[in-house]
Amino acid sequence: MRKQKYRKIKKVAVVGAGTMGSQIAAHIANVGIPCELLDILPAELTPEERTHNLTLDHPAVRNRIAQTALDRMKSATTRSPFYLTDTAQLIRVGNLSDNADWLADADWIIEAVVENLDVKKQVHGLIHQHRKPGTLVSSNTSGISIRAISEGLSENYQECFLGTHFFNPPRYMRLLEIIPTDKTQTELVEFISDFGETILGKGIVHCKDTPNFIANRIGVFSKMYAICLMLEAGYTIDEVDAITGPPMGRPRSGTFRLGDIVGIDVLVDVANNLYEAATDDEQREIFRVPDFILQMVERNWLGDKTGQGFYHKRPGKNGSEIWTLDYNTLEYAPRAQVQFSSLDAIKRISDPSERIKHLINSDDRAGQFAWKCLSNIMRYSAARIPEIVDDLVNIDNAMKWGYNWELGVFEIWDAIGVPESVERMKSEGHSIPLLVTNLLDAGHTTFYGKANSKATYFDLSSKKSHPIQNRSEAIILSDLKANGKVVTSNSDASLIDIGDGVACLEFHSKMNIIDHPIIELMVEALDEVDRNFEGLVIGNHADNFSVGANLVLMLERARRKNWEALDEKIRAFQNANMRLRFSPKPVVAAPAGMAFGGGCEIVLGADGVCAAAETYIGLVELRVGLIPGAGGTKEMAVRSSAHDYRETALAFPYLKRAFETIAYSKVSESGAHAKELGYLRDTDRVSINRAHHLHNAKQMVLSMLSNGYQQPQPREAFVLGEAGLARLKLDIHLMRRAEYISDHDVLIANKLAWILCGGDLSTPQFVSEQYLLDLEREVFLSLCGEEKTHQRIEYTLKTGKPLRN
């Protein structure tokens, strides 16, 4: 049969409007592709539908399942599936009885119905009737055989069919497992892998069609083995979660809290599926669900979805309390404080490699549990090659992208020492998988290495090291630094030559907090770029671009009334950001994750921005009793006056928008949302795949150069003076009367309004950027002298939350 040539996907249809199906549709819409969302007809009316005298034949009733899913996503107040709520307009809801003909117009059909083989086969039979030949079809399943789903359908259907396992929630979880069958066209696998990576922003892992593929095979084994160890050695649920969270390089949810989040019934279903399907697995009995968990399912203790699971939130004397299940009695008791000397010792170790190594070499019960758990997971994972995948890189990526582990299984093994750990395993009587013995027999001591300055991994089939394809930018940056491409550096930042005449200024302080070393290197970097480079990218591959300035040092100086030092610091930061603004070479900021306060002000100072899709940027200084003092207030004033209106009534809405953005400490929920808030301009870009982020920022620099980059010139801001200030003060007064804000909020808001309106000006007029910077610095320093501001800073440093005093 002639090979199908796959082209641009212009429309997608998702069949199944449950949590996964609807959120996959939302993410398809996030990248600008129209999507049909279809489900079955409701079997009965809801009470509300009966009240309105609707029947099962009414269109609103017939589309209710998909429409309800869409409405639920649109109204989400946290972790919205959409980058922007308006994106929901790209989704059209319908049902399979009335709208199955829509499938004929789709370029990609994604089935995401319940995890039941018979139901999936029935749905694919329907899709087969309506799709046009050559249309891509995939199943979103966490573990059902892909070949079994399409069995009995036409040859063309099976050639165009594969598994695409998105992880929940699809917008936020990077992993997309691609599972072809032996009949899937190679061209389709290549096409959908490229589409997933470049258009949907996913990290692609290629799996074999084996039970639960890669991430859930290893991840569920890890959970179930931790439970087995707990029962065997008498650990408590609180103890296991304390050990299997950050100390082992995993999320804070650990083992049991994660079970409550995902759903205990889901964990049971996946474990049962593995027990039934993985009949040749040498550790199959690990997947047998313990009796106490089965009893929990019988009692409908399924976790967060039913209000209780391994943990139970209940009223207490000082608000709600979290109680923990005693698995012996199936009764809850207040959470016990977990005390292990090894966990206390590693709390301040930020490097996961060092943290895990220290833990597994500790002699206390936490160290013993971690070693037993990790050593078996490592052996189990190595034994799965080549059963579930041909190389270890895919296993490591699956665990990092799908389970948010800081390090993959084999990266952990390298970190703790392969030869030493193998000897320890042998001394405990464990057999060593073939991959590991081949590695050591070949004279290697690590799974990962370097050859010709390139990252490599050990391959089981060839027994040699192979280059890692599609290396992450984090690895590339690390390689550049290791190969002498660091131009200059200090304790908190480095300037790296990333090629093609472009340098990258990388922050690496704790949480990329901005202090003197970063400001100092910003200036030094700009001098170096002026002399020897064509442009600059400011970015990094930490979780957050920067959470802002050093509040600890700021509070210390304010308490000591060291105004000269504070003035010097804020003036230096303002000047550094203005150097970014007026650089003769293009400067592109590449924020990702949190870019708060001073981090946001650095972004605002750059002449171009390439933001990651998941960028949460905001001027949040008012939360700690301050105003943006390093150019943020000035920049928002300038941008709010970038219009042709010179009458107060017409210009005021723009001023008010800038005021509210700062006063309410608004933070974007995505890179796209940052444009709506004014932190990004229309000319700025959003990069969908974090792994390509710095590359895209570099390309933006090169594009600016090729388009004839001109050094920016000083701008003026049109400020409204007395008239604008009076209107803002009235709004502030009304907010206070309604008791929405405190007296200290009023003080800060009035000072912010005073800057945005140009200070003590009686009439609207143009003012320079430096004029606004001087006002900004004056107000910032005055607020540093307020005791209530000190209280806010101190409270935030202790709790991570704002104080309204």
Confidence grade of residue 592 (pLDDT, cut at 50, 70, 90): very high
Among candidate residues 551, 618, 572, 621, the one with its CA nearest the CA of residue 591: 618
Confidence grade of residue 361 (pLDDT, cut at 50, 70, 90): very high
Phi–psi pair at 137, nearest 5 degrees: -135, 135
Q: Are 268 and 297 in contact (CB under 8 A)?
A: yes
Among candidate residues 567, 753, 729, the one with its CA nearest the CA of residue 662: 753
User: What's the pLDDT tens digit per position in 111-143?
Assistant: 999 999 999 999 999 999 999 999 999 999 998
Whether the pLDDT of residue 508 is over 60: the answer is yes
And the tokens for 465?
A: 């090291």
The CA-atom distances, in angstroms, between 519 and each of 549, 557, 572, 734 are 10, 18, 7, 40
Task: Please give the biggest Cα pair distance in the chain.
Answer: 85
The CA-atom distances, in angstroms, between 46 and each of 61, 70, 93, 305, 484 are 9, 17, 19, 21, 67
Whether the pLDDT of residue 174 is over 70: the answer is yes
Angstrom distance (rounded) from CA 658 to CA 757? 11
- Angle between helix 598-605 and 632-640 (nearest 10): 50
Query: Which segments of 69-208 are extended strands (E)?
Result: 91-95, 108-111, 136-139, 161-166, 175-180, 203-206
Across the range 427-447, mean pLDDT stands at: 95
N-to-C CA span, the chain: 73
Whether the pLDDT of residue 676 is over 70: the answer is yes
Residue 642 confidence (pLDDT): 86
Across the range 597-626, mean pLDDT stands at: 97
User: What's the pLDDT tens digit per position in 722-766?
Assistant: 999 999 999 999 999 999 999 999 999 999 999 999 999 999 999
Residue 1 confidence (pLDDT): 36
Residue 252 CB-density burial (10 A; 0-12 exposed, 13-18 middle, 19+ buried): exposed
For 153-187, b/e burial (b = at least 16 CB within 10 A) is: beebbbbbbbbbbbbbbbbebbbbbbbbbeebbee
Q: Which carries the bigger pLDDT value, residue 463 or residue 612?
A: 612
Across the range 494-519, mean pLDDT stands at: 95
Confidence grade of residue 258 (pLDDT, cut at 50, 70, 90): very high
Angstrom distance (rounded) from CA 662 to CA 751? 12
Across the range 82-107, mean pLDDT stands at: 97
Average pLDDT over all residues of the chain = 94
Provide the 3-class DSSP secondary structure of residue 247.
helix
Across the range 263-273, mean pLDDT stands at: 94
Could you tell me what percent of the chain has a pLDDT over 90?
A: 91
Across the range 40-69, mean pLDDT stands at: 94
CA–chain centroid gap for 560, Å, is 39
Residue 2 confidence (pLDDT): 42
Across the range 3-14, mean pLDDT stands at: 78
Confidence grade of residue 645 (pLDDT, cut at 50, 70, 90): confident
The two beta strands, 175-180 and 203-206, are parallel
User: What's the pLDDT tens digit per position in 517-539?
Assistant: 999 999 999 999 999 999 999 99
Could you tell me what percent of the chain has a pLDDT over 70?
A: 97
And the tokens for 137?
A: 């079809």
Residue 647 confidence (pLDDT): 86
CA–chain centroid gap for 89, Å, is 24
